[in-house]
Chain A
Amino acid sequence: MIEIRWHGRGGQGAKTASLLLADAAFNTGKYIQGFPEYGPERMGAPITAYNRISDTPIRVHSNIYEPDYVVVVDDTLLQAVEVTKGLKEEGAILINSSKKPEQLRQYLNGYKGKIYTIDATKISMDCLKANFPNTAMLSAIVKITGIMSKDELLSDMKESFKHKFARKPEVIEPNMVAVERAYDEVAGGNE
């Protein structure tokens, strides 16, 4: 079973991204859970969401305390939240940042595992002319976890966008470009 914890700020779509990841994994035949931790939700306040992905039915119904992967949708959270808490050393952290992975290690409380970065905000601004980093984050975490191949991801996302943007077909292609760029531009992975 793979366990993933998402850190974002209210309004950035971390919950949506976790549900999209659950969808993608579901479509490859896996058992999944996708759930947010509900608190006093406000725009900009730190929020947490979770995924479990497994080959067998998932019975546990608690939050995730020792994730295999952590995804940080907003790098200003690094100073506000202990994002690496419980993160397995053999796992990895993915951070939405314009910085290089090793520049961020100093903020990670001595975490020794792999660090990946993706400039999801820039990709989103380039492709979508707005800051919706979650599509790019989703693509990057799929690559890191190896939940599915790039081709599977692209065809799955295309189907999902066709459905989601049925009334705005003109945004499907820019979103697909964002997915592909994020997959190719993930940096890091050195321990």
Chain B
Amino acid sequence: MAIRERLSGNEAVATAMKQINPDTVAAYPITPSTEVPQYFSNFVANGEVDTEFIAVESEHSAMSACIGASAAGGRVMSATSSQGLAYMFEMLYIAAGMRLPITLICGNRALSAPLNIHNDHSDSMGVRDAGFIQLYCENNQEAYDNTIMAVKIAEKASIPVMVCYDGFITSHSVENIMLLETEDVQKFVGKRNPVQYLLDDERNISMGPMDLQKYYFEHRKQLADAMRGAKNIIKEVSDEFYKLTGRKYDLYEEYMMDDAEIGIVVLNSTAGTTKDAVDKLRASGVKAGMVKPRAFRPLPYEELPESLKNLKALAILDKCDSVNGYAAPLFMELTSAMYSKKVIVPTLNYIYGLGGVDVKVEDILSVYNKLEEVAKTGVVDSTTHYLGMED
């Protein structure tokens, strides 16, 4: 029986973690994900989980402890944001390179400087090449669901998974949510069965030693192949989750795309706001649509261009900037994928909402207005725009 509840995003994720009951959680608090380890340590103190909670002195140590515990054979989770994720940078590559199925919760927040605690995607986008699967969440329900699915995806793919949701907007907003019974979550995630692990006293192994040139390249290639293969694993796990909950997840979600002439690609909570904008436009006869990637790693580079190919104009929205003198990550990767698939659509990049600048339905409508103009003329005057910061 599903349980009707109302929880903040952080409460929802902490609840998922309680129901998963991992072997180890190691975390260091940082706004806006602080509440996740805070709630979880309450569950530990109250004996509601069997987890070993390791209160560490930094995020670098948090991920280091996760790596140790995961290599030992445990099911391991952590949570962080912003500077904390940046501080983990070195250990993220090690977790992925060692193929450890750690689940890392990321309450997305801007990076300093200037100091800012509010939401954008600079943190998770900054570690996009670390070798983690990245799942992005529109709301509390998706944060909860993806946390549960992440554990299974990580262990099937032998790749760590990052679950990303918007700081404050999702993490601190209370919304309706449907929870699973703990028993069903337990059945869904099952037990971790590592092929090899450090605490296996039948078979002594060493993990994480140095690789000479050829072995290093081979291992990196294996990781890359595993990331490619993770697309199918995400789909399989999502299908299984659908059978359990009736909630459908894929690599990405399409909204009103079937006959769409202008479209927006956008991650996380702004996707919800964009759906409202699409409905408004549809009501006045404008054929607008939206695509919300759920998996950014692995990038659905074959599927997404297929979904976008019939558009007359497209805007890809990034809640971060690459500061490369050109454009931002989601735009660059998607247009590259489109080019490879010979999908040519006039495409704009909108960088929006940095440092938590609020994004209203009207802001999204202004992007669609621009797209209508581009669709008519076919002309892209300039590629990269900063939403609300122009004129």
Interface: A33 (CB within 8 A): yes
B160 to chain A, nearest CB (A): 27
* Residues B320-363 near A (CB distance < 8 A): 358-361
* Given contact pairs A22-B6, A23-B6, A61-B169, A32 touches B176 in the complex (Cβ within 8 A): yes
Q: Are B358 and A63 closer than 8 Å at their CB atoms?
A: yes
In the complex, given contacts A61-B173, A61-B269, what are 17 additional A-B residue pairs having Cβ atoms less than 8 angstroms apart? A22-B6, A26-B176, A31-B175, A32-B176, A33-B173, A33-B174, A33-B175, A34-B173, A35-B168, A36-B172, A38-B172, A59-B276, A60-B361, A61-B273, A62-B360, A63-B358, A63-B360
A60 to chain B, nearest CB (A): 5
Q: Are A62 and B174 closer than 8 Å at their CB atoms?
A: no
Jot down 8 A-B pairs with beta carbons below 8 A, ordered by A: A33-B173, A59-B273, A60-B272, A60-B276, A61-B173, A61-B359, A62-B273, A62-B359
* Residues B134-176 near A (CB distance < 8 A): 139, 166, 168-170, 172-176
What separation, in Å, do the CA atoms of A22 and B176 have in the docked complex? 10
Contact flags B17-41 to A (C-beta < 8 A → 1, else 0): 0000000000000000000000000
* Given contact pairs A59-B276, A60-B272, A31 touches B173 in the complex (Cβ within 8 A): no
Q: Are A38 and B117 closer than 8 Å at their CB atoms?
A: yes
Interface: A65 (CB within 8 A): yes
B261 to chain A, nearest CB (A): 22
Q: Are B173 and A35 closer than 8 Å at their CB atoms?
A: yes
* Residues A92-110 near B (CB distance < 8 A): none
**A58 proximity list for chain B (CB < 8 A):** 175
**A57 proximity list for chain B (CB < 8 A):** 176
**A33 proximity list for chain B (CB < 8 A):** 173-175
Q: Are B118 and A38 closer than 8 Å at their CB atoms?
A: yes
Interface: B275 (CB within 8 A): yes
What separation, in Å, do the CA atoms of A70 and B176 have in the docked complex? 23
The interface size of chain A toward B, counting residues with CB under 8 Å, comes to: 19
The interface size of chain B toward A, counting residues with CB under 8 Å, comes to: 23
What 7 pairs across the A-B complex have the smallest Cβ distances?
A: A59-B272, A35-B173, A61-B269, A34-B174, A62-B360, A26-B6, A60-B276
Q: Which A residues are within 8 Å of any B CB, using their own CB?
A: 19, 22-23, 26, 31-36, 38, 57-63, 65
Q: Nearest residue in A to B32 (C-beta to C-beta)?
A: A38
**A63 proximity list for chain B (CB < 8 A):** 358, 360
Q: Are B172 and A61 closer than 8 Å at their CB atoms?
A: no
**B6 proximity list for chain A (CB < 8 A):** 22-23, 26, 32
**B276 proximity list for chain A (CB < 8 A):** 59-60
Q: Which of A35, A60, A61, A65 contacts B174 (CB 8 A)?
A: A35
Interface: B270 (CB within 8 A): yes
Q: Nearest residue in A to B276 (C-beta to C-beta)?
A: A60
**B272 proximity list for chain A (CB < 8 A):** 59-61
Q: Nearest residue in B to A31 (C-beta to C-beta)?
A: B176
**A31 proximity list for chain B (CB < 8 A):** 175-176
What separation, in Å, do the CA atoms of A1 and B118 have in the docked complex? 27
Q: Are A62 and B358 closer than 8 Å at their CB atoms?
A: yes
Q: Nearest residue in A to B176 (C-beta to C-beta)?
A: A31
**A65 proximity list for chain B (CB < 8 A):** 360
What separation, in Å, do the CA atoms of A65 and B275 have in the docked complex? 18
Q: Nearest residue in A to B361 (C-beta to C-beta)?
A: A60
A120 to chain B, nearest CB (A): 22
Q: Are B174 and A19 closer than 8 Å at their CB atoms?
A: yes
A1 to chain B, nearest CB (A): 10
**B174 proximity list for chain A (CB < 8 A):** 19, 22, 32-35
What separation, in Å, do the CA atoms of A26 and B175 have in the docked complex? 9
| Max count, chain A CB within 10 A of own CB: residue among B117, B270, B360 | B360
A114 to chain B, nearest CB (A): 26
What separation, in Å, do the CA atoms of A159 and B275 have in the docked complex? 36
B170 to chain A, nearest CB (A): 8
**A60 proximity list for chain B (CB < 8 A):** 272-273, 276, 361
Q: Nearest residue in B to A38 (C-beta to C-beta)?
A: B168
**B360 proximity list for chain A (CB < 8 A):** 62-63, 65
Q: Nearest residue in B to A63 (C-beta to C-beta)?
A: B358
What separation, in Å, do the CA atoms of A36 and B166 have in the docked complex? 14
A65 to chain B, nearest CB (A): 7
